[in-house]
Chains A and B, each alone.
Chain A
Amino acid sequence: MKAAANGLAIEVKNLTKFFDNHPALDGIDLTVEPGKTLAIFGPNGAGKTTLIKILASIMKPSAGEVFINGFDIKHNAEDVRSQIGVVSHQTFLYSNLTAYENLLFYSRMYDVADFKQRIYQVVSMVGMQLRMHDRISTLSRGMQQRLSIARCLIHKPSIILLDEPETGLDQQAISMLWGALKEDGVKKRTIVFTSHSLERGLNACDKLIILNKGKIAHLQPSKGLDLAGLEKAYGICTGAGNENAE
């Protein structure tokens, strides 16, 4: 694996994405160091999901550059994808296949070595050993969410993108997720997550940004910032004191 030229896990330069003449993202500049956790806050339609999708290289930017571990997403998309794991409100699991078959499929797609052992490992991490051979469609929403965490971790990604984990996952799955992210034995795992909840988000991150109308309205390290301070900043940035975080 090529070492990152400047040692950054994520580097975004002047990223812009247009939909129908309307900028969903408008000149985003952002860096995340390896092993750090970045929180992205912002109201609906601020561009959070678009940013995550571009970082995951499933959407192309209209302008600007993105480097993941030093790889350009334009020219080395496959290298980028092999280092990223995503959890969102969609589970990305095939409902007609069993949990094991889904994980087998993804481990083959990601070229996971020793995949049988790895599948067992990630399934244990989320406590789903007993239901491993059941079809996804027969599992509860919470179980599917847990398996989606297992799916995200299967290839030991060094960067994890979480799109609204609170709305996508239940309480148990969230604590399981953070636990699994830490104990998986990957050093310097970088995490980027979007959140509606300022409180939970603040506790989990090293650095945070507030997006509004496709622009970074606020950027600061979380150290020394308390919830009241963040709420105030959020109110100023999104231009609505009463429109608080949900």
Chain B
Amino acid sequence: MVTIAKEVNFSQAEVPLKGTVVGAGDGHRYLPRAYIVSARKREAADTVTLTLKPKDSITDACPLPEPGQFNMLYVFAVGEIPVSVCGVESDGAFRHTIRRVGAVSAALCDSKVGSTVGVRGAYGVGWPVARMKQRSLIILAGGLGLAPLRMLILQVVRSRVDFADITICIGARTPSDVPFLREIRSWQRLKCDAGLFDVRLIVDRADRDWRGEVGVVTALLPRSLTAPELSLAMICGPEVMMRHAASGLVRLGLSRSDIYLSLERNMKCAFGQCGHCQFNRYFVCRDGPIFSFEKVASLLNVKDL
């Protein structure tokens, strides 16, 4: 799969790149680098978070990603898949949360601490961090959609005073499927003088032991917004949920250009050359995975696209 790198032109003009390069030049982005699994944490029955450290040295590491970007993770002799980066440690290690879906993700989920995987990246367009300052933020995550938003949320928590009201809505299937639960609880305990900081969690179904909310995640959206023109929304989760959430936000007065979604398609090369993730005039790997609703609203209802 990685041999495709021989067939493409790596010029900056053709492949717009983002992120801070820690290591060598940009050709670097197209070759897997050896990373060691330094930690493995089980998030749910079929989901784990891997911490990956550069095997040799930080100078031989992939560029640091921006929130919303993804890496290609390569399990030797099995294959390669795109996985969003859910965190970067202070030592440059990446955190990736992976759900067991196919052969490669299963191999990643089963990888032992100390084993080696290949990493190349960071790829794609991330969340609109530059547009977020001084605005009210609505962050909505469904299921494992929280993983691509986690870096963004951590950044928002660190720089809380840079933003107005912050509403974070998180949905999951059942209480035992909630990813990053301990971290969510810590966000819920955060107190802040600078405007609203509301973190709400809801599950699709639960028994009585669950003291939280039960329902669909879109039910957590605010009933009204005092200044929708100053709000910015970031959504990640199943596409059906994102469509309904984005439509609900439009009804609340948000402009389509102020709503961002993270799309998922079958990505292979990760830099817009192979065409696997073509989405009408876009390549999800290169032009996304984060898109404004304005760009993709009309495409989301096209069947088989």
Q: Is the A/B pair a real complex?
A: no
Interface residues of chain B, those whose CB is within 8 Å of chain A, are none
